[in-house]
Structure formats: structure tokens, C-alpha cells
Amino acid sequence: MNSPAPVYDESKIKTLSSLEHIRLRPGMYIGRLGNGSHPDDGIYILLKEVIDNGVDEFIMGAGKEIRIEVAEEGTVRVRDFGRGIPLGKLVECVSVINTGAKYNTDVFQFSVGLNGVGTKAVNALSRAFTVTSFRDGEFAKATFARGGLLEEERGESKEKNGTLVEFTPDPEMFPEYEFNRDFIRKRLKRYSYLNAGLRLKFDGDTFLSENGLLDLLEAEIKGTQLYAPIHFKTQAIEFAFSHTDGYGESYFSFVNGTYTNEGGTHLSAFREGILKGVNEFSGKKFDGEDVREGVVGAVAVKVKDPIFESQTKNKLGNTDIRADIVNAVREAVSAFLYKNTDLAAIIIDKIQHNARLRKELQHVRKEAKAKAKKVALKIPQLKDCKYHPAPDKPSPPDRENMIFLTEGQSASGSIVSARDPMTQAVFSLKGKPLNVLGQPMALLYKNDEMYSIMRALDIEDSVGRLRFDKIIIATDADVDGLHIRNLILTFFLHYFESLVKRGHIYILETPIFRVRNKEETVYCYSERERQEAEKRLAGRAKVRRPVEITRFKGLGEISPREFKQFIGADMRLKQVNIDTLSEVPRVLEFYMGKNTPARRDYIMEHLV
């Protein structure tokens, strides 16, 4: 018998305040919440929104310094030296949605925060939030808790003009969060590259760039570029690029001072502009893939009315700016090559080399596809999941899919039994993968294991077709497992560096020990955690309780029932990050190359 439908009348209709809505649906405003272990976690978005306001002031010619402090308990202070928020509108500017001067192009010509939400979201999602504005010898101060105004204050001040924002992220929204200071430094470095002359101070360090994106590129590819980077800058666009001997193409793209890690219109227009500029100079019709293979570039544009595909501003959607960017890049590249014929000769030689390799690779790829089709329609080592995002369209945080690259049948068996078949796929490696360092890419299509991995990920033709949001390396925590992990990382870093740079590659952390008594079971990920758990479970009484300790030698020893919690909501993942692109070949050569004596000496010196 069906139960009666719930009453639906006027009493059921709710009207939320704007700040209540932010707290109820934070993902709409800041993306993922997280705990600070990922650079896109919410606490960094809150910090970014506040710093953006100071950067906007600098862009408009007011204030050349921003000071950032993050206390151990998580309280953040950001002081800029811009014009300061108008004192009479201080409260509204940080608490009322769609309120702010950034709608007025006479005051802010180029701004990231055009939607009037940024600082309001910080206020609503903070346990404590205080904003103080200093203007011409006066100040106004407002204190909030979780978006609710507590008190206001006004008076005289000897402080320089500008704004001070202090906030503590709300532990109700961000439980057990912790700021990673390296993530903050990396973000501040990018701010400095994008705003030449802006001084950012944090933890005793000063981040300052004199040459903008040229400095960024030099830092990323130092020693690996084939020629001095091409650099161009106007008020509306700045770009720099050079070729390296690496595979694929890699870019850093920005809009109004913010990093757009998913690119967008400006990035695709920049790529097209490079192609057209080279072809215009050479009088040829080179293929885009040949022109851009090995390119590392950076592009930053200033747009009056940017349209982003999400509140977190990862991808630019404006289409009206495309033609202007293409033409600006085309003209600048062509003119530069005409003026620098020696450099132009290096580029043309690189493009022709790329074209020869591409044709050879096309033949190998065609043979590999034909061979795979004869053997089987499906990839034998793959247990696929049901949900896949569209190419180059990442899934929302609550629906991300992933693939586990596992070591052997026993480990994959446990994960397959414990996984969510909707969003979790498993690929079982047959043994130790090939060390591909220094090998031509054609080898990947001739090696069954490597080619099967590419097919499973759908990157055999283009990384843009990647079928998964996360690629998770899941190997045993022993010497063989670590070696296999390094071999897989070498595969991605050597040929598919962009997947690492875009944050797709992770390492699964699984427990090494299980410590339990009759009442409680604790899983430990290190020897220190094991000792702490053993001491706690044994108790402090004179008669200590018996404690059972199990050392997991491999993933296959963890039962599917136990494994379910390690790949569920509380899954521990370490994202694989690249400090600078130039570090990749050096690190790979040291750890995976043939420099055995140097590597042996390093191991002996650092042996604990």
C-alpha cells in the first residue's frame, strides 16, 4: 500500500538568504570543499578570492604590494594597499550578493570577480570574518561569524589606504582542514608572473617578477628549450612560448590574473594563432600537431566581461574574443620570425622533424589498432565502469570517475570486489611494465602492456579523449610495488606529461598495519601510526588488553570488505605534481636512467 504524498502547500516554500544559500550549496560557489590536501580545495579558493581583490587593485594602478599571513590554527590575513572599500558600503560589499564596484567599468576595467560573490562566499563559509578598510585617514571595520554581522566600528586611522581581510574557514564546512604552504607559494608565484611589478609577501618570502610570463616560462623550461622564448605583451594579451624535445604540448593559461587550468577560448585561440603565424611566415601549410609538438607556452588575457564555465573560474567561455586573440598572436609570431631568421630556421627544422615522426607513428599506430582488433574487441585487463565524462569535460566533484592501475590479479581482485562499478574501473598489470625512459613513442604501440593502458584510458590518439577524471596507481607498499609505481610514473611523465600537469595522476595510500582489540579496529599507514594505535588500544591499566597486529604484505591480503573503506569516501590519495617542467627529465634520468653508480651512491648516503 502506497503511503500518502507529503503535504505540499505555502508552508513548504522556503526563501533562503544569499549567504544561507552559499552555506547550503557551497559547491556552487567554490567547487570542492576538501581538507587542504589538494590545491583546488575550498580553503585555497577562499584565499584566492580575497587575494584577487588586491590584484584587481594593482591592475587598476592602486597598490603594488599584498601581504599574506596564515597562522598555524588556520586564520588568514590578507592586506592590500589599494584604494580601500568605500567606508559607507563596507558591510554590503562583503555580505550582500551582487553588490560591488566591479560591475562599474569606470572603476574596474578588468576583474576576475565580476559576479559579486567572491568575498561574500569567504564570509559565509568562515567561522570568523573581519574586514577593515582604510581610506584617507579614516577606517571602517566589520566583524562577522558564518556570514552574520556581529559588530561595526568607524574612526580615524594613520594606516595607508587599502583593505585588510582576516578569516578563519569554518570547521563545520572544512573539517580537519590544513593549509599546505607549498600550494600557497605556487599560487603566489603565478600571481607575480601575471602581474609584473606586484610584490607579494608570505612567510618571509617575496614574490616579484620583472618580466611577467617570460619569467614563468624560463622557470618552467630552463635548460630544455631549443631557443630563447618568443615573448609578446600588450595591455590586453601577453604570451610566451618555446619548443622543447618533450612529447605533446603544455600550456599555462590565465584570465585577468587567474589560472584557468582547463583552458578555454583564449587557450584554443592562442594555439591557433601560433599555427597561423608560423604558416604565414613560412608560406607552408604545416599541420597544427606538427607545429605545436614540444611547445611549452603561457598566455594571459584581460577581458572586460569574462564568462567562466564555473564559479571557480577554471575555463573561459567567451567566444567573441577568439578572432582578436588569433590575429594578435598570428601577427606577433609572424613578425618575430621575420625579424629573427636564425630562430625561425630552428623552429621550421623542429616542425619538419615532428612531421616525419608523426607519419612514422601513424603507421605504427594503425598496425597496433589492427592487431588489437584481431585479438579481442575488449581490453582483457580492464574491468570498466559505467560512467565516463565527455572528452575534455571533467565531471563534477561528486561524480568523478577513476581507474585503478593495479599490480597483479590478487590486488585487482580485491579492488574489483570492493569498487563502485558506476565510477570505479580497474586495470590489472600483468607484471613489471617496461622502462620506457628514452624510448621512442612508437615503442608504446608495439608493447602489448603499454598499448593496453593507452587503450583503456583512450589516449592512443589524443590525451584530450581521456575517459577518466582520476588515474590512480595502486601498488603494494614493498620494494617491487614501489618499482612498479615508478615505472608507471615514468610512462606518464615521459609521454603524457600534460595528464600529470592537469592533475589526473594519483597514488593510492593503503594501510600497512591493522591494529585491533575486541572493541576497536584501527588501520595504520605508517610505523608511527601503528605504535600510537597499539599503545592506545592496549590501555593504561595495570593489566594491558591484548592487541592483535597484522602487517599487510600486499593489496591482495586485504579482504574486499576491508578494501571497500579504503577506496570509498575516506580514500587517501596523493596527487602527483610537477614543481617545474624542466625538473621532469632530470629526475627521470636520475631514478630511471642508466646512471647506476650515482643512484647507488645516493641510496647509500641517504639510507636510514
**Which of the four CATH numbers 3.50.50.60, 3.40.50.300, 3.30.230.10, 3.30.450.20 does domain 213-358 have?**
3.30.230.10
Contact 115, 311 (CB under 8 A): yes
Q: 466 has which bridge partners?
A: none
CATH architecture of 378-510+573-605: 3-Layer(aba) Sandwich (3.40)
Helix (H) or strand (E) holding 129: strand 126-135
What pLDDT is attached to residue 8?
45
92 vs 9: CA distance, rounded Å: 34
Distance CA 259, CA 238 (A): 14
d(CA 555, CA 481): 10
| SS3 label, residue 38 | coil
Torsion, CA 300, CA 305, CA 307, CA 313, rounded to 10: 50
- Closest by CA to 265, choosing from 317, 327, 323, 324, is 317
Cα separation, 421 vs 401, in Å, equals 10
* Whole-number Å distance between alpha carbons of 163 and 76: 14
CA distance 40 to 37: 9
Which residues make Cβ contacts (< 8 Å) with residue 89, sequence separation at least 6? 99
User: What is the pLDDT at residue 283?
Assistant: 93
- b/e per residue 75-95 (b: at least 16 CB within 10 A): bbebbbbbbbbeeeebbebbb
- Domain borders along the chain are 18-207, 213-358, 378-510+573-605
At a CB cut-off of 8 Å and minimum separation 6, what does 482 contact? Answer: 475
* Rounded Cα–Cα distance for residues 310 and 536 (Å): 46
CA distance 242 to 504: 25
Please give the model's pTM, rounded to 2 decimal places: 0.75
C-alpha span between 165 and 364 (Å, rounded): 58
- The beta strand positions in 198-314, using DSSP E, are 199-202, 205-207, 230-233, 237-243, 250-255, 258-259, 295-301
DSSP at 4: P
The pLDDT, as a whole number, for residue 604 is: 56
| Residue 232 β-bridge partners | 239
DSSP helix/strand/coil, 117: coil
Q: Among candidates 523, 502, 482, 519, which has minimal Cα distance to 575?
A: 502
Instruction: Please tell me the total number of residues recorded for the chain in this structure.
Output: 608
Q: Give the whole-angstrom CA distance, residue 465 versus residue 193.
A: 31
Give, in order, the Cα–Cα distances in Å from 400 to each of 175, 422, 463.
21, 10, 17
Three-state secondary-structure class, residue 378: coil
The dihedral formed by the CA atoms of 563, 565, 568 and 569, expressed in degrees to the nearest 10 = -160
Distance (Å, whole) CA 556 – CA 129 = 48
Superfamily of 18-207 according to CATH: Histidine kinase-like ATPase, C-terminal domain (3.30.565.10)
Instruction: Kindly write down the DSSP assignment for every residue of 485-538, as one continuous string.
Output: HHHHHHHHHHH-HHHHHTT-EEEEE--SEEEE-SS-EEEESSHHHHHHHHHHHH
Where does 60-117 have alpha helices with state H?
Answer: 90-95
DSSP labels, 543-602? SPPP-EEEE--SGGGS-HHHHHHHTSTT-EEEE---S-TTHHHHHHHHHHSS-HHHHHHH
How remote is the C-alpha of 481 from its chain's centroid?
26
3-state SS record for 407-421: EHHHHHHHHHHHCCC
Q: Give whole-number Cα distances, 174 to 43, 107, 170, in Å.
A: 8, 34, 6
Residues in a beta bridge with 129: 144, 167
| Helices 448-457 and 341-375: angle between axes, nearest 10 degrees | 100
Nearest Cα residue to 571 out of 395, 410, 415:
415
Which distant-in-sequence residues (6+ apart) come within 8 Å of 476 by Cβ? 407, 411, 553, 554, 555
| 127 phi, psi to nearest 5 deg | -65, -40
Chunked in runs of 10, what are the mean pLDDT values of the chain (608 residues)?
53 55 76 82 90 88 93 93 90 73 43 59 91 93 92 92 94 90 92 92 94 92 89 92 89 86 90 96 94 93 80 77 94 95 95 92 86 74 89 72 87 86 92 83 88 92 89 86 88 89 89 90 90 89 84 82 85 83 68 66 55
Q: What is the pLDDT of residue 300?
A: 92
Cβ of 330: how many Cβ atoms within 10 Å?
A: 21
